[in-house]
Amino acid sequence: MEIFKDGKNIGYCNYEFTKNGDSIKIYNETNFEVKLLGIKVFSINSVGTEIYKNNKLFSFNSNTLQNDKKKFVNLILNENEDVFDIKGSSYTGKANRNHIIGNWWNHKILESENQISPLSGSVKDQVVNFLGKEKIQIYGKEYLAHKFSLKSKDENISENKKLDFEIWLEPKQNLILKVKYNRMGSWEYILKNVIVN
C-alpha cells in the first residue's frame, strides 16, 4: 500500500505473507515521513510480525519508532486461559480472542468490535457501519467497492486516539483497497498491487 498525505506520496505500508503447513506469517513494514518547509514534523518506521495457526492469531510482535519515540507490542496466545497476553508500550494486560490486530491487510477488521493497536498494544472498541457500494478508481482500474466507516465506540476519548476511518473493500477477494482519514490533513492508504509468487 502507498501512503498519501494531502495528495502527496510520503511512504508505504507493505505486507509479506509466508505459509508453512498450517501456519501463516505476515511481516509488515511501514515507513513514512511528513515534512513542513523541509523539516520533519511526523514520521513512523515500524516492523511487525503476525503468526496465525489454523487461521487463528497465535502471536504478534512489533517495534516502532514514531517521531523518534520507541513503541512496541509483544502479544501471545495464552492457551490455558484462551486469551491474548499483551505487553505493549501503551497497554499491558489481557484481551479476549475476538480482538483483531489493527492492520489494513485483514478484512476481518470490518467484522470485529475490537482492535489492538499494532504500534502500542492499546485495546480499542470500535463500531463499523456499511455505507453502501461505490465505484472507485485506483491506479487506472475501476472497482465496485463496498464502503464502510470504522469509528471509536467511545466518543469521549481524545482526538489523537480516536478511530475515524473510511474504508473501501473489494468484496470478491476481500481486499481492502483504500483507507482514508483526517488528522492534521487528509491521509490515504491505497493498495497499489498484490504479488503472488
Q: Is residue 3 packed enough to be buried (19+ CB in 10 Å), middle (13-18) or exposed (0-12)? A: buried
Whether 127 maps to a domain, the answer reads yes
Per-residue pLDDT for 161 more than 90? Answer: no
Structural domain contains residue 62:
yes
Let me know if residue 96 belongs to a domain.
yes
* 196: in domain: no
Instruction: Note whether residue 197 is domain-resident.
Output: no
User: Taking the mean position of all CA atoms in its chain, how far away is CA 44?
Assistant: 13
In a domain, 67, yes or no: yes
Residue 192 zone, left/alpha/beta (φ > 0; ψ -120 to 50; rest)? alpha
Nearest C-alpha neighbor of 104 from the set 191, 31, 170: 191
The per-residue pLDDT for 196 is: 80
Q: What is residue 103's predicted lDDT score, i.e. its pLDDT?
A: 96
Residue 154 lies in a domain: yes
Is 195 part of a structural domain of the chain? no
- Kindly write down the DSSP assignment for every residue of 149-195, as one continuous string: EEEES-TTS-GGG--EEEEEEETTTTEEEEEEEESSSEEEEE-----
**pTM confidence score:** 0.93
Which structural domain range is residue 80 located in?
2-190
pLDDT at 131: 98
Q: What share of the chain is helix, strand, coil (3-state, %, to 5)?
A: 5, 65, 30
Count of structural domains within the chain: 1
For 50-98, the pLDDT digits (tens) are: 999 999 999 999 999 999 899 999 999 999 999 999 999 999 999 999 9
C-alpha cell at 57: 492469531
User: Does the pLDDT value for residue 159 go beyond 80?
Assistant: no
- Whether the per-residue pLDDT at 157 is higher than 90: the answer is no
